Amino acid sequence: MDEQKAFEEVKKVVVEQLGVAEAEVTKEASFVDDLLALKSRTKKQKRSRP
């Protein structure tokens, strides 16, 4: 499996499991600094909806 294909597979899992927007998952993104922060923000937004 080449690097790009591996990245696309990981990206798919991150989007599905963390609920992060696909556009936010980049090779430069950090799980801790970027993606988990987005997950947390998304959860808060869902809870605040009526």
Round to the nearest angstrom and report the end-to-end CA distance of the chain.
45
Containing domain of residue 42, as a range? Answer: 26-50
Domain membership of residue 49 (yes or no) is yes
Indicate if the pLDDT at residue 43 is higher than 60: no
**pLDDT (tens digit, 9 = 90+) per residue, 9-40?**
999 998 998 888 899 899 988 877 766 666 66
Domain membership of residue 15 (yes or no) is no
Domain membership of residue 42 (yes or no) is yes
Domain membership of residue 4 (yes or no) is no
The total of structural domains in the chain comes to 1
User: What distance in Å separates the CA atoms of residue 24 and residue 37, rounded to the nearest whole number?
Assistant: 11
Indicate if the pLDDT at residue 1 is higher than 80: yes
pTM flag (> 0.95)? no
